[in-house]
Amino acid sequence: MSDTQQCSRIGRVKESFRCSFGEIVFGMSDGTVSIFGLVAGMVAGAQSGNVILLAGATAAIAATVSMMAGVFLDLESEKDAARVEAAQREAEIRSDPGGVVKKLIRDLEGTGISKTSIDALQVDFEKDPLSIQKFEDVVAGEEENPAEKAPPWVHACWMGIADFVAAMTPVIPFAFLPLEQAKYVCIAGTAVLLFLLGLGRARLGQRPVVRTVLETMAIATAAGIAGVIFALIIT
């Protein structure tokens, strides 16, 4: 493989990562919170780390597949809906281009756009009525966003990787350490991951960093407490 091909592949991977950043953050949040709650509940009642490892790993795999399928189907449905809507709008324009242009111009007259600009737009739309679709998409903020540059299966793969890695974080310590030690490593590792997730959420949503980090950690803590309470009730 040449250096150019290798750089091209690395560039595509980086681009797909950037496009799927939202799914990655969401997948890691979901995987961490759900499996940490499960592990916390099992720690309260289990006598062996092997039991926690088996249950946690099984739940992580099942959750990963479920999340991947959910993201893929959701994005496919969004694309299908957008395609159908665009086809319906195109048919509407083709059936009555003059009427569509007149209606759009009337709508623009109440927006504060100068008459000169509106007249120029009317001339362009009358020449190419189908350009109205692109104009409406831009005005509505529906022009292609970074997430649409990657196919649904790419988003699903990144979601799956993120969800599985995060879900296994509370579980892995029980594969290598005695039960008592694994408990503390599980909590510490999960706390670090949640801190990083909080930073990711803050960056993604342009939210206050401290508040977002504390919020992320509080949600996982609540899941852990719920798991422990449930385990104590049934044991």
Q: How many Cβ atoms from other residues are within 10 Å of residue 33's Cβ? A: 23
- Please tell me the predicted confidence (pLDDT) of residue 147: 47
Sign of CA dihedral 203, 61, 55, 50: negative
**pLDDT band for position 31 (50/70/90)?**
confident
Of residues 144 and 203, more confidently modeled? 203
Q: Are 21 and 150 in contact (CB under 8 A)?
A: no
Average of per-residue pLDDT values in the chain: 80
Residue 12, pLDDT above cutoff 80? no
pLDDT at 146: 45
User: What residues contact 50, with CB distance under 8 A and at least 6 apart?
Assistant: 174
HEC string of the chain?
CCHHHHHHHHHHHHHHHHHCHHHHHHHHHHHHHHHHHHHHHHHHHCCCHHHHHHHHHHHHHHHHHHHHHHHHHHHHHHHHHHHHHHHHHHHHHHHCHHHHHHHHHHHHHCCCCCHHHHHHHHHHHHHCCCHHHHHHHHHCCCCCCHHHHCCHHHHHHHHHHHHHHHHHCCCCHHHHCCHHHHHHHHHHHHHHHHHHHHHHHHHHHCCCHHHHHHHHHHHHHHHHHHHHHHHHHHC
pLDDT in tens, 89-133: 888 888 888 888 888 888 887 777 788 888 888 888 888 888 888
Mean pLDDT of 169-179: 87
pLDDT value of position 224: 80
Please say if the pLDDT value at position 51 is more than 70: yes
- Specify whether the backbone of 48 is left (phi greater than 0), alpha (psi in -120 to 50) or beta: beta
- Between 143 and 193, name the one with better pLDDT: 193
Q: Which has the higher per-residue pLDDT, 7 or 227?
A: 227
List pLDDT tens digits, range 181-229: 888 888 888 888 888 888 877 877 788 888 888 888 888 888 888 877 8
Check pLDDT > 80 for residue 172. yes
Residue 175: which residues within 8 A CB-CB, separation 6 or more? 49, 53
